[in-house]
Amino acid sequence: MNLKPRIKQDPEINLTSLIDVVFLLLIFFMVSTTFERQAALRIDLPEASVAPAPQENIKRLELIIDPRGRMYLNDRQLVDNRAETIEAALLEISGDARDIPVLLRADAMTPHHFVVTAMDVTSRLGFSRLSIATEHAPGTVE
């Protein structure tokens, strides 16, 4: 009878051959794979065109907001910058016509809430032709 205690050894797994096989499979698939670029979705993008010059006889509303929040409608200063005042001025000039284009000009330093208020009022009144005036940055293509 053998009464000596056995020394337990942890099993050891040699991964060298496994790494070699995986590396060879990787090389095989890289060499044998062909890459083909196919467009999954064909899209015809619209092209920009030069807009015709606006006619002088078309009635237009121009709302200008300066850096301090003062508002001018067609070069006339409004009493204050509240939404009710803007609404009353727009209604006075436009009457029942809601297809008149509205051009919104705001200084770069104008607080954002004045611009949003003006946009909200024009939307609430039903004006759908709202444009926001911007300047071309130097060096950009028109």
Cα(81)–Cα(85) distance, integer angstroms: 7
Please check whether residue 138 lies inside any domain of the structure: no
Cα(130)–Cα(65) distance, integer angstroms: 15
Question: Mean pLDDT in runs of 10 for the chain (142 residues)?
Answer: 73 86 93 70 56 63 86 88 90 86 85 90 89 66 54
- Structural domain of 116: 61-132
CATH no. for residue 94?
A: 3.30.420.270
Structure token pair of residue 128: 């759908």
At residue 105, the pLDDT reads 85
Please check whether residue 26 lies inside any domain of the structure: no
Cα(101)–Cα(97) distance, integer angstroms: 10
Please check whether residue 31 lies inside any domain of the structure: no
Please check whether residue 44 lies inside any domain of the structure: no
Structure token pair of residue 51: 């807009």
At residue 21, the pLDDT reads 93
At residue 120, the pLDDT reads 93
User: Are 100 and 60 spatial neighbours (Cβ–Cβ below 8 Å)?
Assistant: yes
In order of 29, 31, 41, 66, 139, the CA distances from 34 in angstroms are: 10, 8, 21, 61, 43
Please check whether residue 36 lies inside any domain of the structure: no
The SS3 of residue 73 is strand
Based on the structure, what is the number of domains in the chain?
A: 1
Cα(102)–Cα(128) distance, integer angstroms: 8
Please check whether residue 40 lies inside any domain of the structure: no
In order of 50, 101, 129, 139, the CA distances from 47 in angstroms are: 10, 23, 21, 21
Q: pTM of the full predicted structure? A: 0.55
Please check whether residue 48 lies inside any domain of the structure: no
Please check whether residue 25 lies inside any domain of the structure: no
